[in-house]
Amino acid sequence: MDKEMKVLSYDYRMDTVRMIMSGGGGHIGGDMSEMEILMQLYLKEMNISPENQNDPNRDYFILSKGHAVESFYTILGHKGFYDLEDAIARFSHFGSEFIGHPNNVIPGVEMNSGSLGHGLPVAVGLAIAAKMDKRPSRVYVLMGDGELAEGSVWEGAMSGHNYNLDNLCAIVDRNHLQISGNTEDVMKQDDQAQRWAAFGWNVIKCDGNDFDALEDAFAKARAHKGDPTVIIADTVKGKGSPIMENKAGWHHHLPNQEEYEQIMKDLEAGKEAAINE
């Protein structure tokens, strides 16, 4: 695995936790599960930077699971779209533009989200526009697994297939947990791969917390022609500290001081281990 990325992932997680503590709330579980997906996209896969953010040929990203915004803000900050420490200091504070769901007055944020099930249709529109204009843009949209219960997701899935949008790549953060508990207990998902395949999508499954696996998955998605691709990325909710890993209660739990210290200790230890790997 890319050692540098792995080391960075701990730094980014610590920044994300600091942002949540500063704002007095956030969706920490999903932030942690999606971290490697966002990092692989923004640091390796996508053609996007502060310099080309208005270039029509850029790649587009939509965070459809908008509640897990803190890791997104962290990555955009590191990427240079704005000053990360300023974002951390003002996150969710009075009058701040850094609110608890993506806000497209902030540089780097394409669309507002927060209501689940909206991202895929919007991504379909972006991908159709790129095809119409024969632009090289690729469009990425990240959804939660609980979000897949929204009917509008499947309207988007139908149209993505209908228009053969091979410039569109959806990623499902398959952490198996949603606010009320295990996704299979709340509303059965069975085999998501079969569902997407039945809708005509190219389906790739991978370990969503592993950079090598993600790199391979995105390369395969890029190479596939004629259909949109969905990457079902198996992840661990709350990844990075045992006190929150795979626990539904940490969907939007705000760590108390003791928990915060333990999380930061665990992340520091993880970083040390990654450095010495």
Contact positions vs another protein (CB under 8 A): 56, 60, 104, 110-115, 117-118, 120-130, 132-133, 137, 151-152, 155-156, 158-159, 162
Two structure tokens written together for 210: 């592993």
Considering the complex, state which of residue 158 and residue 197 has its C-beta at the smaller distance from another protein. Answer: 158
Paired residues of 231 in beta bridges: 171, 204
Least CB distance from residue 28 to another protein, whole Å?
A: 24
Quote the CA–CA distance of 1 and 39 in Å, as a whole number.
Answer: 14
Considering the complex, state which of residue 26 and residue 160 has its C-beta at the smaller distance from another protein. Answer: 160
Least CB distance from residue 51 to another protein, whole Å?
A: 19
Considering the complex, state which of residue 172 and residue 264 has its C-beta at the smaller distance from another protein. Answer: 172
Q: Which of 114, 100, 112 is nearest to 71 (CA)?
A: 100
- CA–CA distance from 114 to each of 15, 18, 120 (Å)? 22, 22, 13
Least CB distance from residue 228 to another protein, whole Å?
A: 13
Q: Which of 109, 110, 180, 124 is nearest to 149 (CA)?
A: 180
Q: What is the dihedral of CA 230, 99, 7, 85, to 10 degrees?
A: 150
Considering the complex, state which of residue 146 and residue 238 has its C-beta at the smaller distance from another protein. Answer: 146
Least CB distance from residue 258 to another protein, whole Å?
A: 37
Least CB distance from residue 133 to another protein, whole Å?
A: 8
Considering the complex, state which of residue 135 and residue 205 has its C-beta at the smaller distance from another protein. Answer: 135
Q: Which of 38, 20, 32 is nearest to 177 (CA)?
A: 32
Place of tokens 């991908």: 127
